Amino acid sequence: MNYRAASREIPRLLYIADVPVEATYHGSLLLFRLLQSYPADRLFVVEGSVLVSEPQRRLAGVAYRVIDAGVRRILLSRFSTHYSSWLTLRASKRARRVSALLDGFSPDVVLTVAHGTSWLTAAEFARSRGLPLHLIVHDDLPRIANVLPRLREWLEERFATVYSAATSRLCVSRYMEAHYYEHYKTRGSVLSPSRSLDCPRLDVAPEKSDRALTFGYAGSVNTAGYSSALRSLALCLQQSGGRLLIFGPISDRDAQQTGLDMPNVIRCGLIEPQEVIARLRDEADVLYLPMSFAEGDRPNMQLSFPSKLTDYTAAGLPLLIHGPSYCSAVRWAAENQDAALVVTDTDPDALKIAVEKLIRDAELRRRLARGALAVGTEDFSHKRAFSTLMTALQAGRSFAN
């Protein structure tokens, strides 16, 4: 169906959440891509004040408003846990402020993301208006929320209630959907991360024979696990003269503190989303996807899904995944033959063997690149993700023009 042409058949959608809808990175970019095809006159975005989208990065023609959901500066201070707990307890009460922001927009459905605290605001607004609530889950919120220990059981119960009562539950991976079904006895749907609406269809990238093999990583370096994995790869590449390119926000100080201030580590900075695939394709030979081995990260590694695979698999390059056997990226690769070369051992020698194999075997690189392209085209298409969303929003409902 051409959803732009048939806009009268589409519900008026009110988005209320703490994840900004903008063309940047992480969850914000996923939401921007997901809603790219939504008719602008039937979409209204209410973002929490902790992170607010930049006007030039927003969906064209869509109305955006901001609801007071806290102050980022305090959430980054030593009072963060207490402040986050207070915001969590107050979130439902903020629902009464939403109506004043809508400027006459009358929603048919409410969409939110289980992140921060505004998902509780959205749930209460939908309940008070008798509207269907559609819940997107990217992370294992009850386990990672920054709240006081005495609130954790309450938050778990509240999440279970909202999850079970939602009209649809859109999980980022089937591993997450299965986990929540086991816990809450309510089935969800899988809404995989998607490529952009205008993502180019490319073939395998040509070999770059005039240099030592270059590995690329696109994303943040915001945990000790990621910085350690990147440093391990850079060390493996030193003997062959290979380089590691990091496309993401990492300062000189961060590089020094994490041991990434190495001669063969090139920090390329944060680049625009529409440039990522072209830059990776032009400047790298292999793409690196590390996942955390830390026991404290295990729940999120099992249930969440690395969104960078959407663009990684579109670049026509081979993938190297380094993570524990239970993480979602490794399980995805195991289910898709030749989609990636996988290392599941923390021993540096295991990573070194994989790197040397990629350096020596050009045919292996081409086979992995073809496999990643084929799987990514099927799993991460914009059309597939948008169709999943529309099926959820329209099930059993009729909407006014």
Do the bridges between strand 63-67 and strand 168-171 make them parallel or antiparallel, or are there none, so unpaired? unpaired
State the pLDDT confidence band at 339, using cuts at 50, 70 and 90. Answer: very high
At residue 370, what are phi and psi to the nearest 5 degrees?
-65, -40
Least confident of 5-19, 136-150, 152-166, 231-245: 5-19
Mean pLDDT along residues 98-119: 96
Q: Which of 155, 118, 112 is nearest to 137 (CA)?
A: 112
| Cα within 13 Å of Cα(221), Cβ side | 28
Is residue 145's pLDDT more than 70?
yes
The mean pLDDT value of the chain amounts to 91
Chain-centre distance for alpha carbon 315: 18
- H-helix or E-strand spanning residue 111: strand 109-113
| Confidence at residue 394, expressed as pLDDT on a 0 to 100 scale | 87
Q: Which of 307, 233, 236, 314 is nearest to 280 (CA)?
A: 314
Query: When comparing pLDDT for 211 and 124, which is higher?
Result: 124
Kindly state which CATH superfamily the domain 7-194+381-394 is placed in. Glycogen Phosphorylase B; (3.40.50.2000)
With a pLDDT cut of 90, the percent of the chain lying above it is 76
What is the token pair recorded at 162?
Answer: 């909202």
Least confident of 72-81, 197-206, 330-339: 197-206
| Confidence at residue 166, expressed as pLDDT on a 0 to 100 scale | 96
What's the CATH fold of domain 214-379? Rossmann fold (3.40.50)
Contact status, residue 188 vs residue 181, Cβ threshold 8 Å: yes
Q: According to CATH, where is 3.40.50.2000 located in the chain?
A: 7-194+381-394, 214-379
| Confidence at residue 8, expressed as pLDDT on a 0 to 100 scale | 56
State the pLDDT confidence band at 350, using cuts at 50, 70 and 90. Answer: very high
At residue 338, what are phi and psi to the nearest 5 degrees?
65, 20
What is the token pair recorded at 156?
Answer: 């778990």
State the pLDDT confidence band at 4, using cuts at 50, 70 and 90. Answer: very low
| Confidence at residue 35, expressed as pLDDT on a 0 to 100 scale | 96
Distance CA(330)–CA(274), nearest Å, equals 27
Residues listed for the chain: 401
The pLDDT tens digits of the residues spanning 19-71 come to: 999 998 888 999 999 999 999 999 999 999 999 999 999 999 999 999 999 99
